[in-house]
Structure formats: structure tokens, C-alpha cells
Amino acid sequence: MAFEMTSVVSKLQNLSTSDHASVVSMNLFVALLCACIVIGHLLEENRWMNESITTLLIGVCTGVVILLFSGGKSSHILVFSEDLFFIYLLPPIIFNAGFQVKKKQFFKNFMIIMSFGAIGTLISCCIITFGATQAFKRMDIGPLEIGDYLAIGAIFAATDSVCTLQVLSQDETPLLYSLVFGEGVVNDATSVVLFNAIQSFDLNRLNPSIAMQFLGNFFYLFIASTLLGVLTGLLSAYIIKKLYIGRHSTDREVALMMLMAYLSYMLAELAYLSGILTVFFCGIVMSHYTWHNVTQSSRVTTKHSFATLSFVCEIFIFLYVGMDAMDIDKWKFVSDSRGTSIATSAILLGLILLGRAAFVFPLSFLSNLTKKSQHQKISFRQQVIIWWAGLMRGAVSMALAYKQFTRSGHTQLRSNAIMITSTITVVLFSTVLFGLLTKPLIRLLLPHPKHTSSMTTTEPSTPKSVIVPLLGDHRDSEADLEGHEIHRPNSLRALLSTPTHTVHRLWRKFDDSFMRPVFGGRGFVPVEPGSPSERNGHQSP
């Protein structure tokens, strides 16, 4: 009996020690997050630094300190997991991007954004895959299968839109900001969809039918993920409009919006779809319908809550990536082949440069052919900045590399260790070097950016954030035209010459006649005591 009691006490003590260590780790990490926010604020006006680079460097320095104190055993406070990234950290970032997006300008630039984000990512993936296959087979890396090479293409085709947003300024370069922001979101989604499609096929027996199935699966994932996000957003709008929960509790409707947004992501993952695409379009739909159905206090709360969650998750990711770069276990496996690891990183960086150039300049040229006005075209200098700003690689590349080449954050194979360390090197080098030089490059190539009042117009009744993405140079909705009618095209040629206004006109008629009366939105909210419709005098657009 005494022996059993001693055993129980010993287990409880071990459990208590483990819990205490976890609490200490969490305290240190939260303190580091606070330090990153404060230091980032102090360096806000610095022409070279941005918050992503600052947080990444703090993570590296922290990793070095922990490595010294632990006697070279570990550089981590917390253990990284790709599930932690994909399930908890990434959804708030992507949802907030969709929720805060300037919808009119996003869909106005939709074709060029989709061509850069989807077609461009496919081109970049193919070039990186082909180049890596040809180069790595001649090097002493280890056994890599065709699935590994295709995964490498998807991993390094994923740009880091988070860092890019902090480098570019929507005031100085509104068109560039809109294109790079939109491309970054679509690019991340496309890369993850590509990666998941690669994982679902047996690539050891390639034939034309497999290639067609792959393309079919890719488009299925893309379309199904988008539709799921739209349907979830519409469901949230319908529930809040019909029940008008805010008349009893604003907390409930805010909680319902958050949970429905997260539910859309988890449903996509459960159905093996792209959670990134789903939660992004769910955010767009919620900002168009659901956000207008809640009380004024809930609007302010949701706007700041989503932005704050996204901001904290971004800092968390960059801080951990910096600490993970000092993980001694990964570097031990490549200590006897440092030259191979450096050569692998250099080749991957070269392929990233080539792969991005292969679609930015040709697709920009094709886009310019469809523009009649010179100010609507993307100049060569702007194309260079778009190419450069998208060279940074970040957390998505890291998470996909972990998913492909490790098990529970660790690898015991030399080839996998080389790929992980090379990914870390590419992420650090591209984020720090390209990030530091982006602002000076913009000042060099665009020394006198032109500002117009129309570039900075905002929608008065849509959610705004500190960062207002996707600014455009013309107003494109009937509401914005202040009574000036958009004339119905009298020929196919006229339709093709003004596709944005024409499509938007048709959408507004459909939206006003069918969608907003059912799902709510600006001017179509419930007439309840204290509701937005009552405060606005029951006005409709």
C-alpha cells in the first residue's frame, strides 16, 4: 500500500513538473510576443525594417540564447507542429484578409489577380519542380521520389503575403499593393491545393489519364472550396438576419460570426478541401452580408477582433520560424555535408527567382494588351517590383515542408533533413534580404508616386482596418458613381470594352433583387428596436 502511494505521489510530482514547465514556456513566449510588438512599434518609421523581419530576427536571437542555456540541446520554447499552424494560426490570418478586403477593387482586378495567383503559381511550381529534378539528381542529397519533387515545387511556389503587406505601402503604391495582396492570398490557397492534390495521387505510375485526373482534382478542390466558403457565409448571414441575436446579446452574434468562420475552415479540412480558399471567401461573404446584419457595437467589435487575432498569429508564426532556424537537431544531419545544403539552398533561390519571372512579365504583358488607357497598364518598373515583392517565402512554405519531410517535427533521413534546413535557409534569406531591399527598390524605381483622391476612397459602410487593401484608381459601382448611370452595352464590342462596369451592374441588380432581401446587407437589415435599420431611418441603397 505504501509502495502504491509513493508511486502515485511520484507520478503527480512529475505531472506537476511538466505542467510547470509548460506554464514557464508559455509565459516566455507571450513575453516575447509583447517584446516583438513594442520593438516593431519603435521601428515603425524605419525605411529598412518591417514587423516581419523584426520578429524573425528576434526569434533567431532567442533561439541562440535558448541554445546556449540548454547546452546545445534545444532552441525552442514550444514544439512546432504543422497542425498547430494549419488549424489554429493560419485561419484567422486568411479570414481577416477576406473580411477586410475591398471587394469592389478585388473583383475589379480579379482577372489579373487570379492569373498571377493561380496560373502564375502553376507556372512557378512547374519550373521549380523541373529545375529541382534536374539539379538534385546530380547531387548527393539522397533518395527523393517524384512526389517529393512535385511537393518541392508547391512548397517554394508559395509566397509570403504577410511580409509583403508590411513592406508595401497602400498610400505610396496603391495598385501594386492591391495586386501583390490579392495574388498572395490566391497564391497561398493554390499552393496548398496543389500540395494536397499531389498527396492524393499515386505518382509512381504517371500517364496521361493521371495528369487529367490531377487537373480535374485541382479544379474540383478550387471550386468546391470556394462554394463551401460562400455557403457558410450566407448561412451565418441568414441566421443572424432572421433571429437578430443582437437585440438580446451582442456577444452572441460576435461569437456566432467567429465560430461560423472557423467552422467553414474545419468543414473544408474535414472534406479534404482547401481551408484557405474556404475561409477567405467566407470572410468576403460575411463582410458583404453578415456584417451589416449585426448591431453597431458588434460591427466595431468584430472589425477589431478579427484584425487583432490575425496580427497576433502573424507575429507568433514569424517568431517561431526564427527560433526554429536554430534547431540543432536538424543541422546535425547535414553537418557532414554543409556544401550540399548550401548548394541546395542556392539552387532553390535561383529557381524561385526564375519561376516568378516566368509568369510576372508575360502575364503582365498580356494584361496590358487588354487595357486601352495607359494609366491602367502595369509599367515595366511596376512589374519589377511585383516580381521582387513576391520572392519572399515564409510560414506556408515552412509548414508544407514539415508536412512533407518530417514526422512530428523531426526527421531521421539525411535527404529530408537537407530539404528542411534548405527551406529554413531560403525563408530566412528571402525574408530578410528581399524584405530589407523592397522599400529602397520602390523609392528607386518609383521616386514620385502619383496620388489621386480616387485612390484613397473607401466604402463608408464596409468594415475598415488599419491596412486598407486592394485600393484602386477608379470607382466601379453604381453607388459610387453618385447617380451617373452605367449605360447598358448595345453590342458585344461595347460589352468587352467595359466588362467591369457591365458585370458589376448585372451583379448589383441580382444582389438587390434576390440576395440582400434574403440574406441582409446594407439597407436590408431587420427592423427591430435598436437595430441598424432603425438607427439609419430604414434607408436602403
The domain locations on the chain are: 1-70, 88-322+341-445
Q: How far is CA 218 from CA 118, 172, 199, 333, 463, in A?
A: 11, 37, 12, 35, 32
pLDDT for 227: 94
Biggest CA pair distance of the chain: 95
C-alpha gyration radius of the chain: 25
Query: In this structure, how many other beta carbons lie within 10 angstroms of the beta carbon of residue 332?
Result: 11
pLDDT for 522: 75
What backbone phi and psi angles, to 5 degrees, belong to 49? Answer: -90, 155
Encoded amino acid at 158, one letter:
A
| Dihedral angle computed from the Cα positions of residues 68, 72, 76 and 82, in that order, rounded to the nearest 10 degrees | 150
What backbone phi and psi angles, to 5 degrees, belong to 291? Answer: -60, -30
Please provide the DSSP assignment of 239-269 as one string: HHHHH-GGGT-HHHHHHHHHHHHHHHHHHHH
- From first CA to last CA, the distance across the chain in angstroms is 79
Q: What is the DSSP letter of 394?
A: -
Q: How far apart are CA 526 and CA 528, in angstroms?
A: 6
Scan for cell 517529393, then name that residue.
Answer: 148
pLDDT for 128: 95
Q: What is the pLDDT along the chain (541 residues), one digit of tens a residue?
A: 554 555 554 554 554 555 677 787 788 888 989 998 998 888 877 766 777 788 888 888 888 888 887 776 666 676 666 777 788 888 998 898 888 877 776 777 788 888 998 899 999 999 999 999 999 888 877 778 888 898 999 999 988 766 666 666 666 666 777 788 788 878 888 888 888 878 777 666 666 777 777 778 778 888 899 999 999 999 999 998 888 776 777 888 889 999 999 999 999 989 888 888 899 899 999 998 999 888 888 889 888 999 899 889 888 888 888 887 777 777 776 666 667 888 899 999 999 999 999 999 999 999 888 877 777 788 898 899 889 888 888 878 888 888 888 765 556 677 788 888 888 889 888 888 887 887 788 778 877 544 333 333 344 444 444 334 433 333 333 333 333 444 455 554 444 445 555 566 777 788 888 888 888 877 665 545 444 444 444 443 3
The x, y and z cell numbers of residue 479, run together, are 453607388
What backbone phi and psi angles, to 5 degrees, belong to 246? Answer: -65, -20
pLDDT for 452: 35
Q: Are 395 and 423 in contact (CB under 8 A)?
A: no
Q: How far apart are CA 303 and CA 287, in angstroms?
A: 10
- Global pTM value: 0.78
* Nearby residues of 21 by Cβ (< 8 Å), 6 or more positions away: none
Residues shown for the chain: 541
The x, y and z cell numbers of residue 31, run together, are 513575453
Q: Are 348 and 156 in contact (CB under 8 A)?
A: yes
Q: How far apart are CA 210 and CA 206, in angstroms?
A: 6
pLDDT for 111: 84
The x, y and z cell numbers of residue 219, run together, are 479544379
Q: How far is CA 164 from CA 26, 309, 380, 482, in A?
A: 29, 19, 19, 34
Q: How far apart are CA 153 and CA 14, in angstroms?
A: 45
The dihedral through the CA atoms of 407, 410, 415, 417 has a sign that is: positive
Domain spanning 88-322+341-445: which CATH class is it, in words?
mainly alpha
Bridge partners (DSSP) of residue 407 are 410
Bridge partners (DSSP) of residue 410 are 407
Encoded amino acid at 321, one letter:
V
What backbone phi and psi angles, to 5 degrees, belong to 465? Answer: -135, 175
Going by C-alpha positions, the residue among 154, 179, 177 that lies closest to residue 167 is 177
Reduce the DSSP state of residue 407 to 3 states and report it.
strand
Rama region for 172: left / alpha / beta (φ>0; ψ in -120 to 50; rest) = alpha
pLDDT for 461: 43
Q: Are 294 and 249 in contact (CB under 8 A)?
A: no
The x, y and z cell numbers of residue 208, run together, are 496521361
Helices 395-405 and 174-199 pack at an angle, to 10 degrees, of 10
